[in-house]
Chain A
């Protein structure tokens, strides 16, 4: 296990397997009457979120607290960043307070990598621009395994705004690393300009794909990241690529529906489809805490401290 978790590829297939195996232990902890273990007593975890987030920030915070770590929250709006402090100065200030792990989210790709060069603490990427969101991919893998067993030979569709999606990039890396076949379904304008080296198939026909997949991952239409008009209208997008009630019925009986959240109900997923029995959206959130406990455990507790 590396000192940081910056991208899914840092883990490799063995590392992913190890996180998923450990997650089972932390799911058990999370299901106890008192979901807390003393493992990270005396360690400090700080979240450095330069971009808004509900579930990821709370999920990391819950994970750290269930491991008995102390947590600090950094809120950009009420911080010295508003006075013009640079990223490097902010990070070095936080490190000087003595932290063991920094959870970083930033709108620019590569920020966690840069932060990892500056600090001794472990850095966890909680989403950087369009690049990666590795813990989301890990919790997606865990949730899929819970429902499907092994991912080897399974077929998984990732539908929607792939171009702007760090979740899609991390999911593709993790799913294919575990032996699943990934098919991206999106209008050409919402795909990255080049898919060279991506272990994926591409389709523009959702109806045709749905009948043959074991899982479908819906991506959020990221209106805040779309500065150019990439789809004529949200209604037209929904008509072509939204998971409507009619389309959900094309799915096989065992197939599961996933969404990393936050959902735009009525856009990429119909309001009632999100609540179907085959939708594992809330399970993803619950597993997210256990996966992040496993990641924090691996980074901070599994080895010997220098």
Chain B
């Protein structure tokens, strides 16, 4: 699961213990390829499309997506990374810490921003990301791509591109990497 979730969800700093594998590396790769085609189709090409990965779990997925987009259309796609810590609505309620420096590559105004994250859960990270993106300019549109939609939304948000819909219990945890997706639990751990 995203490092962010691991450290900011009780038990803080717990260890992820996998129970079952829901996607393997090939599944993840195929999902990224499909999402890439969907992004191209939805936007009728890649004119004005900017891909922004959310720190930390969304960044490798965004890199892989940009690679696929470039391969499909043969044009370069600007890639950025965004850390939403400063925009979270739970500051003071649980530990919050920026993990990396935000790097928004190009002008956001007038562009279509594709936000990429690993897991869509309550939607609060995406709410924070929308506010953050809008601080850089006024995008023409914002679209959301996630590898796993696990439900339990607390805000009226939905993804545009989904790798896999995965029904979960609230207390479960989902771990997404390029080499596979696992469903499991957070156990109190040292780290």
Which residues of chain A have a CB within 8 Å of any CB of chain B? 22, 24-25, 27-29, 32-34, 36-39, 67, 297, 301-305
Are B86 and A29 closer than 8 Å at their CB atoms?
A: yes
Are A39 and B95 closer than 8 Å at their CB atoms?
A: no
Are B95 and A28 closer than 8 Å at their CB atoms?
A: no
The answer to whether B87 has its CB under 8 Å from any CB of chain A is yes
Are B86 and A305 closer than 8 Å at their CB atoms?
A: no
Q: Which residues of A contact B97 (CB under 8 A)?
A: 22, 302
Are B102 and A25 closer than 8 Å at their CB atoms?
A: yes
- What size tier do the contact residues of chain B reach? 10 to 19
The answer to whether B46 has its CB under 8 Å from any CB of chain A is no
Q: Which residues of B contact A302 (CB under 8 A)?
A: 95-97
The answer to whether B149 has its CB under 8 Å from any CB of chain A is no
Smallest CB-CB separation from B98: which chain A residue? Answer: A25
If A37-B135, A39-B86 touch, does A28 touch B94 (CB 8 Å cutoff)?
no
If A25-B98, A28-B102 touch, does A304 touch B87 (CB 8 Å cutoff)?
no
If A32-B136, A37-B86, A38-B131 touch, does A24 touch B101 (CB 8 Å cutoff)?
yes
Q: Complex formed: what's the CA distance from A97 to B102 in Å?
A: 35
Ordered by A's residue number, 15 sampled pairs between the chains whose C-beta atoms are within 8 Å are: A22-B98, A24-B101, A25-B102, A28-B102, A32-B136, A37-B87, A38-B131, A39-B86, A67-B86, A297-B86, A301-B96, A302-B95, A302-B96, A304-B95, A305-B92
18 further A-B pairs in the complex, CB-CB below 8 A; given A25-B85, A25-B98, A67-B86: A22-B98, A28-B101, A28-B103, A29-B86, A32-B135, A37-B87, A37-B135, A38-B131, A39-B86, A39-B87, A301-B91, A301-B92, A302-B96, A302-B97, A303-B95, A304-B92, A304-B94, A305-B92
CB distance from B62 to the nearest CB of A (A): 18
Count of CB-CB pairs between chains A and B under 8 Å: 44
Q: Which residues of A contact B86 (CB under 8 A)?
A: 25, 29, 37-39, 67, 297
Smallest CB-CB separation from A22: which chain B residue? Answer: B98
CB distance from B47 to the nearest CB of A (A): 24
Q: Which residues of A contact B85 (CB under 8 A)?
A: 25
- Which of A25, A29, A33, A34 has the most chain B CB within a 10 Å cutoff? A25
Q: Which residues of A contact B100 (CB under 8 A)?
A: 25
Q: Complex formed: what's the CA distance from A122 to B96 in Å?
A: 18
CB distance from B101 to the nearest CB of A (A): 5
The answer to whether B117 has its CB under 8 Å from any CB of chain A is no
The answer to whether B83 has its CB under 8 Å from any CB of chain A is yes
Q: Which residues of A contact B95 (CB under 8 A)?
A: 302-304
If A24-B101, A28-B101, A39-B86 touch, does A34 touch B94 (CB 8 Å cutoff)?
no
Q: Which residues of B contact A29 (CB under 8 A)?
A: 86
The answer to whether B93 has its CB under 8 Å from any CB of chain A is yes
Q: Complex formed: what's the CA distance from A32 to B98 in Å?
A: 17
Q: Complex formed: what's the CA distance from A278 to B93 in Å?
A: 44
Q: Complex formed: what's the CA distance from A34 to B135 in Å?
A: 7
Q: Which residues of B contact A36 (CB under 8 A)?
A: 135
Smallest CB-CB separation from A294: which chain B residue? Answer: B98
Select which of B87, B96, B101 is within 8 A of A25 by beta carbon: B101
Smallest CB-CB separation from B99: which chain A residue? Answer: A25
Q: Complex formed: what's the CA distance from A32 to B94 in Å?
A: 27
Q: Which residues of A contact B101 (CB under 8 A)?
A: 24-25, 27-28
Q: Which residues of B contact A301 (CB under 8 A)?
A: 91-92, 96
Q: Which residues of A contact B93 (CB under 8 A)?
A: 304-305
Q: Which of B112-157 contact A (CB under 8 A)?
A: 131, 135-136
Q: Which residues of A contact B98 (CB under 8 A)?
A: 22, 25
Smallest CB-CB separation from A305: which chain B residue? Answer: B92
Are B87 and A38 closer than 8 Å at their CB atoms?
A: yes
Q: Complex formed: what's the CA distance from A32 to B82 in Å?
A: 13
